[in-house]
Chain A
């Protein structure tokens, strides 16, 4: 687990509790009174699904009810959010679980039908740094090779979609080094890996967990200031300090639970129960076991509260606005 984030999380949670004057669980004793509905704005079987299964599988023990996912893929997450904002009850039983980065970048490209502060994220689950990767058959072996090659010719770079933190990272890198890149959106992690593996494109960018520990793929660098999973990413450089990008760590996968602002305001006691019980999941060994059993990495689990989420969203939005023209064509 990321230490800083955890500290931050605990601090913020404590602050939250202090402000609320330690709300007794009595207020929310009857909550949750039905199955929690979790709207997921991506396809079943994807990265968010996996993360949700891991987390929800443990969280339900603390909430005392099941968490039932409903998947609303489409329009890069837009359908899921619109559905959530339109359909979700304002009683804290309905949450949204998504990947903040790409989904917030959607709003930079085109505003949704609802106001952006009608919902907020309150519990970040992981911080999965953006990474640059190549096929192990590629003639380029290091990120320096890539940069050098990119100064000679335009490199094709596979990405999940244009409006994605990983794409932004690549654009910033190209901008700083003077290399030329042509981002090729291939819709989703699987297709992006395939594009690189089959040699159709020169390299790719993705959230690290979607790319690492896959056959034939070599991770060249992370858009981060620390490498928490160096055992899985031999030789990967830290791009932000190495190439002096001047941007904050770019978590390309930052999954988080969000809730309607109105729901949290109407039922502060319930909202608090959600936060408190959710926090317990991170220290539950069952959760760690679930994460490590798959391809996930415990090291990348990064609990964050309302403030951490807001900070992340602000960073991505600022950067997205800067590169808006490249994202929208």
Chain B
């Protein structure tokens, strides 16, 4: 969503979170340029032009930020950056938890197969976001997700999802 807007009259806005995207872009661009040193010029042309433009935009951003910091409209400090980025507890913990679950989902889908992994992920994520008190509903929803997912993707559309024990068993049964 829209970033957390702060009142301009309020204390100066911390600019550090805003530097993350330019930093990622810069690091990536430098890496990219190192990979094209050996290729023919025609394959370098577009990237060189765009990386130049990107660099200009980042320089403009740095100059503007420096100017604003000088005017005390913005500041640069680590404190509060985490909250700016992830929100306050418990939302921040939930966001990190959800990300870890998503990574685990992708990590385990290869070995456990589509159906089981989807079930565990949806169940765990709902419990993470609400609470264990909600477990019955979480169970129903995650069960529905994996069953419908199986029917639609694996059975009907024959999508080549990684086969886990359940899929192998179901394939035998059906």
Contact = CB atoms under 8 A, between A and B. Distances in A.
Contacts of A329: 39-40, 42-43
A70 B160 contact: yes
Interface residues of A, number: 3
A70 B40 CA distance: 33
A77 to B, nearest CB: 19
Nearest to B41: A329
Contacts of A328: 40
B58 to A, nearest CB: 31
A135 B149 CA distance: 48
Interface of B: 39-40, 42-43, 160
Contacts of A70: 160
B133 to A, nearest CB: 44
Interface of A: 70, 328-329
A294 to B, nearest CB: 23
Q: Which 6 A-B pairs have the closest CB atoms?
A: A329-B40, A70-B160, A329-B42, A329-B43, A329-B39, A328-B40
Contacts of B43: 329
A70 B43 CA distance: 31
Nearest to B42: A329
B2 to A, nearest CB: 38
6 contacts: A70-B160, A328-B40, A329-B39, A329-B40, A329-B42, A329-B43
Contacts of B39: 329
A22 B113 CA distance: 42
A328 B40 CA distance: 8
Contacts of B42: 329
A70 B160 CA distance: 8
A70 B161 CA distance: 12
A329 B160 CA distance: 38
Contacts of B40: 328-329
A146 B168 CA distance: 59
A329 B42 CA distance: 9
Nearest to B40: A329
B163 to A, nearest CB: 11
Most chain A C-beta atoms within 10 Å of own C-beta, residue among B42, B43, B160: B160
B44 to A, nearest CB: 11
A189 to B, nearest CB: 23
A329 B45 CA distance: 14
Nearest to B160: A70
Nearest to A71: B160
A269 B84 CA distance: 66
A177 B56 CA distance: 50
A69 B70 CA distance: 63
A177 B143 CA distance: 70
A172 to B, nearest CB: 22
A15 B43 CA distance: 49
B169 to A, nearest CB: 15
A328 B42 CA distance: 12
A328 B38 CA distance: 11
Nearest to B158: A68
A324 B43 CA distance: 17
A109 to B, nearest CB: 12
A44 B43 CA distance: 27
Nearest to A328: B40
A272 to B, nearest CB: 29
Nearest to A37: B160
B65 to A, nearest CB: 40
A33 to B, nearest CB: 13
